[in-house]
Amino acid sequence: MEKTQNQNKSMPAHPFLALILILVIATIAANFIPSGEYTREVVKGRTIVNPESYKIVDKKYAGISDFFLSFYHGFGKAWGLIGMVLFVGGAFGVVKRIGLMETTIAVLAKKIKEKNIGFLPLAILIMTLFSFIVSFTGMWELSMVIVPFIIPLCLSLGYDVMVGSALIMLSACVSSAAALANPFFTAISHQIAELPIYSGMWYRAITTGIYLVICLIYILIYAKKVKNDPSKSILKDVNSEYTKLDSTDKNIAFTIPLIRAGIAFICIFIFLIYGTIEKNFSFAEMSAVFVAMAFIVGFANGSSLNEICYMFADGMKDLLLAGLVIFFARAILFVMEQTLVIDTIIHFLSRFFTGTNVYLTSTSIFLTQGLINFLIPSGSGQATITMPILIPLADMGGITRQVACYASQIADSLTNFVYPTNGSFVALLSIAGISYTKWMKFFAPLFAILMIVSIFLVMIAQAIKYGPF
């Protein structure tokens, strides 16, 4: 009994915990906040709030039954998005479990080591490739698979664990921040904002490029310092479980089945990019592509249908938590909708957003979303809860909806690699063997730079009326 109590004390907070507490607070607060409504009008296919139409209506209350019913209704409202998240997990479950990703990185690392390629082209290649994957999937958690293969390579080149980890972690951080086709925050926020899904991709591509250059320079400066004097390493007093890459391991090679699977994966991934850019794929079409990816890649590898089913199911389990977070977030929104308090909150906040400088307002959206990420460490969860409030505020404050989505997405992703409330981030540090304090000693200066650059990029986006609207 005593052992169980000790285990519970050391058990990290579950992602559901914060959302349930917020749901409890939201349910209680909804009974004290006046119910109110704005008149909404459809203009050019968009639902616009009439800022002069707010009025107090008869109070709607939320009881205990509403609290528990919100779980079911939240799931009912979010089932389509949850399904897509699970299909993404299933597809990458197959890709991961047949060994395609691990083998690709291992072979790449071996070739780089054998050909004595310098660190600069190595860093550019690794960061570009991984950023490309994350930009179109939003799955920065794939870092957990890649980091163990990059660290030994960097150790072999005379660098430390931090360099190897940073190449992947920073790529994941900035490419998810300005993701081109993130099916989580980007797609959800665009859907709520009634924007064409993944519109404005060109500006996010520029943002990603700027971020990557900044991160690359930062890593190069640190790597050079460590290479010249290992005592300058932030991890100089840390014993790592990782060892240098064994470039003589002849077992690291692509098999014929993996080559077939790799070709199939690349073809389907290209089709996914084409569909999102040219055909404006909805959640349904994207889900279909990911399901097709799972089976086609699996069959190309020579896996049986039964094996594919097992791998697909295991992959769905990997993202089950991320999917369920969405319906918890939707449950919170359900309570706010039922009690008619969303418009009251919008009306209250509009006093601070309307009539002020548009650049200050857009920056406020950016900073506010960054703070919210501490409480709701889920991009999809945040988008579901906050965007219905932020979009009308953006309209009233003269901010384009695209800027509101862009600023929110960046703030969410950058702070993912700062807040210890993010379970995936903490797990990634554990896999790399880096303590939170050591990581922050390395990342804090860069984080400050990225935040400052982000504020300027958000202001520029507003200045050019980043849209389409």
Residue pLDDT, tens place only, 194-253: 898 889 999 999 999 999 999 999 999 999 999 999 899 999 888 877 777 655 556 667
What are the tens digits of pLDDT across the range 349-388?
777 766 668 898 888 889 888 887 776 666 776 777 788 8
pLDDT, position 250: 60
User: Residue 49 class from Cβ within 10 Å (0-12 exposed, 13-18 middle, 19+ buried)?
Assistant: buried
What does the pLDDT read at residue 2? Answer: 47
Give the type of residue at 418.
V
Residue 319: inside a domain? yes
Span 451-457, average pLDDT: 96
> Is 38 domain-assigned?
yes
Q: Are residues 353 and 364 in contact, defined by beta-carbon separation less than 8 angstroms?
A: yes
Task: Say how many domains are in the chain.
Answer: 1
Percent of the chain beyond pLDDT 90? 36
Find where tokens 């990225």 sit: 450
Yes or no: say if 334 and 74 are a contact pair by the CB < 8 Å rule. yes
Q: What is the DSSP letter of 150?
A: H
pLDDT in tens, 396-411: 888 999 999 999 999 9
Give domain status of residue 131, yes or no. yes
Confidence of residue 12 (pLDDT cuts 50, 70, 90): low
- Of 174-178, 185-189, 321-325, give the lowest mean pLDDT range: 321-325
- 41, containing H or E segment: strand 40-43
Let me know if residue 469 belongs to a domain: no
Query: Exposed, middle or buried, 44 (CB in 10 Å: 0-12/13-18/19+)?
Result: exposed
d(CA 18, CA 33): 21
- Asked if the structure places residue 3 within a domain, the reply is no
In angstroms, how far is CA 143 from the centroid of its own chain? 12
Which residue's structure tokens are 């926020």? 189
Q: What is the pLDDT of residue 278?
A: 78
Instruction: Supply angle C-alpha 361, 365, 370, rounded to 5.
Output: 145
Q: Please count the other Cβ atoms lying within 10 Å of the Cβ belonging to residue 353.
A: 23
Query: Once rounded to an integer, what is the mean pLDDT over residues 450-457?
Result: 96
d(CA 218, CA 175): 16
Among residues 348, 351, 354, 391, the alpha carbon closest in space to that of 369 is found at 391
Residue 468 in any domain: the answer is no
Check if the beta carbon of residue 339 is closer than 8 Å to that of residue 33: yes
Q: Which amino acid is at 27?
A: T
With respect to residue 136, please indicate whether it lies within any of the assigned structural domains.
yes
- Does the pTM surpass 0.85? The reply is no
C-alpha pair distances (Å), 437 with each of 41, 208, 277, 350, 420:
50, 27, 40, 39, 11
Q: How far apart are CA 154 and CA 160, in angstroms?
A: 7
Task: Quote the domain boundaries for residue 92.
Answer: 8-463
Between the alpha carbon of residue 312 and those of residues 97, 138, 299, 326, the distances in Å are 9, 19, 12, 21
In a domain, 215, yes or no: yes
